Structure 1
Amino acid sequence: MKVLLTGASGFLGRHVLHSLRQRGIDTVLLCRQPPADPKVTAWIAADLLASTDWVALVAQAQATHLLHLAWYAEHGRYWVSPLNLRWVDATVQLTEAFCQAGGQQVVVAGTCAEYDWSHGYCREESTPLHPATLYGVAKDAARRLVMAVCQQHQIPCAWGRVFLPFGAGESPQRLIPSLIAALRGQRAPFGVNASAYRDFLHASDVAEGLLTLLQQGAQGAYNISSGQPVQLQALIRQLAELLHAEPAPLLALASERPCEPALLVGDPQRLQALGWRPALSREQALHQTIQEAL
């Protein structure tokens, strides 16, 4: 197995690259800039949103497996950015070139934003796909097109719908780093929809989920989620306990938000059937994230 990996410099990509190394899997990166990690020796310079000779690019990589993570992910902007449309095109063209070159397996990172969140509990086979944002629509469109391309070439394709990852390397503006900063007094307290339930999963376990799909030759859509939602007020209290801080300033600002789903959780049974399980409990994952943020 030789993996062609995109998005290795991103939040999830760093964890995926670490997991690939731990397994000793031969990997070549597609990236715009030379990797900051000195351990990376196999990489190809490429801007996937620029005019690209996709056939030559894939031929240079000589990979058997494609793991595509790259996408526009700037916090707060990716939901509505027109760059989502360009990433649909880049994803499909890369997949088509990889299939034409005789690739054996394609795995792409999707998102829970493809689902209709009003259903709360999301199952691959039964929950409607009715995304409410341009980001979710673009990801779902990319999934349909990529699956069709792979089916035409008779190559298995797995689509991993990622639910609320957290951990080292994520934007400090995201929820869990923001809560940690507020509890440490590094930023002002802010309000959250404290009664809502959300499905968080440490990025290292997300990475292991994606690699499970890759190594098992999986086909179809899979939730990469804990399946164990936590109420946000309980999350705040748990973080406060780990930080020896007072949760009251945050909880005092909590408010109901009818426009947000009361529950968002993914059913991970399909991925678990392939042998995957989260390695970290929520407490372990939060403790590790706090330590990494020091």
Structure 2
Amino acid sequence: MRVLVTGAGDYLGRRLLEALRRGLPAGSRILGIDRSAQPPLDGVTFLAVDPFDAGRLAEAVAAFEPTLVFHLAALASVARSSETPAYAWRADLLGTLNLAEAVARTRAALVFLSSTVVYGEAFRDRARPDESVTPRPDTISGRTKNACEYILRDVLANARVKHLVLRPSNYIGPGQSETFVVASFAGQIARIERGEAPPVVEVGDLSAGRDFFDVADFTAACLQVIARIDELPDGGIFNVGSGTVTPVSDILDALRALTDADFTIRVRDERVRPAGVRSEGCDPAAFAAATGWKPMIPLTRSLSAILAEARSRNG
């Protein structure tokens, strides 16, 4: 098996590569593509390719001759996409179109990492939508992800190349950027413990709910996709998550229970999303039925690992 991963230098990309080198059959080859050079990883070949360079990208895909492509390259943060809208559209759509055209010339199957953010306004009607719910994205990140789903469907279907769409909810884990809420809380608490910051944790809407699950469970889901790729439907769309909506306030309470530090809470307007407070989860039943996958790591264990990593990083 020959697996190509785009966005290899991003948080999820690196962890997927680590899972692939442990979980793929002996003799498999793995190529990680990113726009910049990456630190070495045993069993993985890295290649620096600008996704805007269609010719170079096509050459890299053709030379590797992948059997399966995981397309992860994108701006993962909703907040970061909102701060750089023109770049978000260019990066997500142009990079996806260039990759789709390159993969269309191969015999590979492609798995696209979308997101449950595509549901957008639909969350107001259903906190845990399944795949039958029509996306109504209301953020730049949601709109670009949804547009990429259409690009892949049109380009790859015309070329008769199989593709799947995974819509994960909020995967979390040690080392994630503090642009994400759990990592932000953990990083702030770690700095408070060390006396490097005043005893105040800045927050957004604590009443909002999210479907949090461990990034290691998501990489395990990707391995299940590989194992079942021939059985899964062409063009299939699958939610991936815990199926449980947890209030953000519960996350902060759980982290508070893991520290002896006393701190107060301050709501900052810039941390509050314009869309307002709401619960955003997903129903992952279809994916579970198709692959046998289910999340195995308790949320409390994930939070403990995230805080431990933040303490180390700030130490």
Instruction: Name which of 286, 290, 294 aligns with 2:307.
Output: 290
What 5-or-longer segments of structure 2 have no aligned partner?
A: none
1:1-294, aligned counterparts within 5 Å? 1-24=1-24, 25-39=28-42, 41-73=44-76, 76-79=79-82, 80-86=84-90, 87-103=92-108, 105-116=109-120, 117-184=123-190, 185=192, 186-187=196-197, 188-217=200-229, 218-219=232-233, 220-246=236-262, 249-250=264-265, 253=267, 259-273=275-289, 274-293=291-310, 294=312
Deviation at 1:38, TM superposition (A): 4.4
Moved more, 94-103 or 281-290: 94-103
Cα separation, 2, equivalents of 1:194 and 1:69: 29
Cα separation, 2, equivalents of 1:22 and 1:127: 35
Q: Is the 8 A contact 2:77 2:179 kept in 1?
A: no
Cα separation, 1, equivalents of 2:223 and 2:49: 23
Q: Is the 8 A contact 1:115 1:122 kept in 2?
A: no
Q: Is the 8 A contact 2:3 2:67 kept in 1?
A: yes
How many positions carry a matched residue from both structures? 291
User: Aligned letter for 1:158?
Assistant: L
Compute the TM-score of the two structures, normalised by the length of structure 2: 0.83
Cα separation, 2, equivalents of 1:100 and 1:258: 41
| Aligned-pair identity (%) | 23
Q: For 1:94-133, what per-residue CA distance to the aligned partner results, in whole angstroms no more than 9, with x for missing partners?
A: 1222121222x11011012111332342434332211112
Q: Is the 8 A contact 1:75 1:171 kept in 2?
A: no
CA RMSD after TM alignment:
2.5
Cα separation, 1, equivalents of 2:3 and 2:116: 25
User: Aligned letter for 2:8?
Assistant: A
Compute the TM-score of the two structures, normalised by the length of structure 1: 0.89
Q: For 1:152-206, what per-residue CA distance to the aligned partner results, in whole angstroms no more than 9, with x for missing partners?
A: 2333211111212221231123211221233341543223322222111221112
User: Aligned letter for 2:216?
Assistant: S
Deviation at 1:136, TM superposition (A): 1.3
